[in-house]
A and B are shown apart, each in its own frame.
Chain A
């Protein structure tokens, strides 16, 4: 199943980055497909990007809200929020595990042999702050002299934008290099930090910083596709703790907001069929449930 997931990640990455004529055009794709949002974090200034980044689009709409309203256009971000909400309602953070290009990059980086470690649990709450302040409030409330807000998360934080858009554009367009300053240096350092951190720990950006992941995490309990724990079969052997790339202790919190539904716990860890996949409450997969284990015997 891990191989299937990897192929789905690659396919999804290629689908949202399907414009490969940029070495010739030396610019970004400007076709009509960009009206669509990508389900995961994928900078629309990436030369190969054929879709819009929902987080980037949302900040741009919020930043230009006053201008738009003055000209009678009510761009509140409902189209983008609606898309994100539908994705959240159907898949939730399974998007992070299966469809996000930057999730794939982090997964691959973590495969580089090195000393491995975890991430303090408290850092997971940071991403909600990034969503609230850098994506919603700052673009809406901090305005320049012309009354326009800035895309704060893209401009000051997003390492995905630096890696997939900033660096390629600097390589393709030498004239841009003169404009590089402290702002880019700040973003470059953040990008290098996340690359190094991804080699050491699994998915640090998803777990601590990604505002899109934070948004999808809000749908954890109400999403259509989710994992389910059968407590009567669980022996608390904690095998699921060892394989989770997000540090979820599934048997202790089956509705954990960090679960990206990668299915590692179900397929690689649990020997007692205590974990199953469900869609809208109904089980999927024809696996016959194993008989419930004799917990007393197992504990001895």
Chain B
């Protein structure tokens, strides 16, 4: 376990289990609703609470992984949420259960810790594949939870929460025992020294960090938004078409609508390692097809690959609107499957770049980019929901949010030398003479 593959496996295992914990509440929400007689509104709040801790939590976790090292930070998250999960198995009061499950959902912040851990071990030329394998394989924990937990435990969520918590404690202990913060002591020391308030503000004010955060909001933020939005969209927007397929009644239509939504999420997770590999491939081939964006940086092809992903996501959003307006269900779901793949290009492409631009501050940068971007998961469904025509929301978001983000991305990625030094205030202003 003292080599980089061993560290990648530990990080991936920890992340996988954290994602199981994160989405275990959702997997049992019908059982919880039945036991506590929850209203539809209460059920909605319970579902949305899963991402409440993500923005702030990921920022703090990213900083902590630089300051204390990923193994200690990951162990605290696993053991802390594991203990709360165990206690929640014995709770009889819904208010306490709700609060405890919000705390357990904080396990999702571990994403940024593992990204930092992997970045501290792998070299530039293999970063895309390594980060992609970590994030993509770990993400599968969410899908496995949704599919397997209700099958194994039925409606007995208490046993599930208990067992998930106990295993989290074991993995947390193992992570602490076998995890090593970085490939070299020097690399770990550089990150530790950079975990200051001034370094944090420096990263947050860089144009490149803001552009990558927005790119991640366009991909991962959109992915979690679509997870919440799509079942309702297909049930409402294609009700007649789904009925014609043979699904009768609200429950049956919900199954079909949920299927389309799940396929998007599944593709977005499982294609993510491939997206990282493609970033490595573009880097290896030296492909830089887009004008204006930097071409001579050591990682320039990766920036161009992400640009390609952002364009594809935008095109897919417009196609979703067109398929909806013409009432073409089959076309819509095929576009949705491709859309999930394009989203993975964005998520995998972003984190193939972040550790390279912010080499000395990987945790802080990852926390900012991976944390703030999750706000997209709240904003997009609101825009979709408030659109007069249910199909038009995708086009509105594409044209009025994504196109400006892409233009900002192009503008901020134009620097051929040290792009990370450009932003609000100079590097000297924030950091003095520090590297």
Chain B binds chain A: no
